[in-house]
Amino acid sequence: MLAVLLIIMFACLLLGFPMFMCMVLSSTVVIFVYLTMMPETTIIQQLMEGIGSFALLAIPLFIFAADIMSAGHTAKRLVDFVKSFTGHIHGGLGITLAGTCTLFGAISGSSQATVVAIGKTLRPQMLAANYRQSDTDGLIVSAANIAALIPPSVTMIMYSVVTGASVGEMFVAGIGPGILLFLLFSIYQYFHAKKLNIPREKKTTWKERGQAFRKGLLPLGFPVIIVGSIYSGIASPTEAAAVSVLYALILEMFIYRTITIKDLGKIALSTGAVTGTLFILLASGQIFSLVLTYANVPQMIATNVLGADPSMTVILLWVTVFFFIAGMFVDPLIAVVVVTPIFYEPAMAAGIDPIWLGIIITVQCILGAISPPFGCNIFTACAAFDVSYMKVVRGLPVYLIIMIAVSVLFIFFPQIITFYRWF
């Protein structure tokens, strides 16, 4: 049964079918051939269950808020703010890009959106400053992944829906790992630019920094609203998402006046297209996960891979391997829906903190998103910047090494993730 499921799915992929059709078609065939006792209505029920959680409403709302902010000049304001403090040091533009991606992640929650918004703003400046194209594109693709660790993270929301973990705790726990990745990317940029003798930007005055800070101050209210309201218990993630939409509207329509009410229809249509695609994938992932459960895949992996009494370290190492491989071929959210149930029960039985597990899964998903052959961030960059696949891939190895090292670090030092509990 499992063999038939995988053969049909990969055959559909090779024929060029969309991912959701591959999962639905393979699952449906297996249900009608092998699971004849299952009512036909179960397929529809599972499809609806995949998108029926109230917490999922936060995803289109956060995406809508990010689209509103992206339609304005928020990305440029954040770039100018970070650049005013880092532009004059070695690797200043690279550090600026990494820092802006981190801040923009607090608005978008999406690595793909960050690739486009920040990349289109800073990429021309870096190329003009004699940064190599492959290095620049590799940094953009990799640094954009920090957005998946900074709240509001769509991947974290999906993990919380699948497992029942606290969205608020996931958001707070992701801040430390996100900052750590930013620092490591920045350190590399400093020494890399110094080695290549890339010219530095002119140092800004404190007056200019103050002006840049004032321009970028209001967009920085997003993480305060999201994390503050959720972690304090004032609002649920969905309510915080709704407030962030209102905040974005006030900011861009009435304060900055970069968009008008006529623009909202186009922005909403863009959000709807992205959300529609995403929810179709989630629904199809739900039924695919159901078939895997009926095929006893979780039990098979627990028995044959993990062993009879696996330790925390063994489980987490296998989690990193499975999610890394899955992230190379499918969207990170699909990986979360399909693979998480396989390891969640063994992980809980071994005493692994669900928040610790969730951050490790998130890191592996974003690592897969920049890994050949099918890393989704790679193709986003190719489309956004009109560059070849190989030119983007050529600049990725150093960042893959950094992220793999960080993944190992998180396994052996969970305190980096759960530090917020000290306060």
pLDDT digits (tens, 9 = 90+) for 392-405: 888 889 999 999 99
What is the spatial distance between Cα 395 and Cα 45, in angstroms, rounded to a whole number? 44
**pLDDT of amino acid 355:** 94
**pLDDT of amino acid 109:** 65
**pLDDT of amino acid 358:** 93
* The token pair that represents 110 in the structure block: 């999406």
What is the spatial distance between Cα 354 and Cα 235, in angstroms, rounded to a whole number? 22
**pLDDT of amino acid 421:** 78
**pLDDT of amino acid 357:** 94
Number of C-alpha atoms within 13 angstroms, CB side, residue 294?
19
**pLDDT of amino acid 300:** 75
**pLDDT of amino acid 180:** 92
Contact 103, 198 (CB under 8 A): no
For the entire predicted model, the pTM comes to 0.84
Regions of the chain where pLDDT drops below 70? 40, 108-110, 298, 302, 308, 374, 423
Question: What is the residue-wise DSSP string for 350-373?
Answer: TT--HHHHHHHHHHHHHHHHTSTT
354-369 and 154-163 are packed helices; what angle lies between their axes, rounded to 10 degrees?
130
* The token pair that represents 27 in the structure block: 């699952």
**Which single residue is written with the structure tokens 């092998």?**
34
Q: CB neighbours of 376 closer than 8 A, spacing ≥ 6?
A: 112, 331, 332, 369
**pLDDT of amino acid 367:** 86
Q: What is the rounded (10 degree) CA torsion for 313, 315, 321, 325?
A: -160
Question: What is the residue-wise DSSP string for 61-108?
Answer: HHHHHHHHHHHTTHHHHHHHHHHHHHTTSTTHHHHHHHHHHHHHHHHH
Query: What is the sign, positive or negative, of the torsion defined by CA atoms of 7, 8, 9, 10?
Result: positive
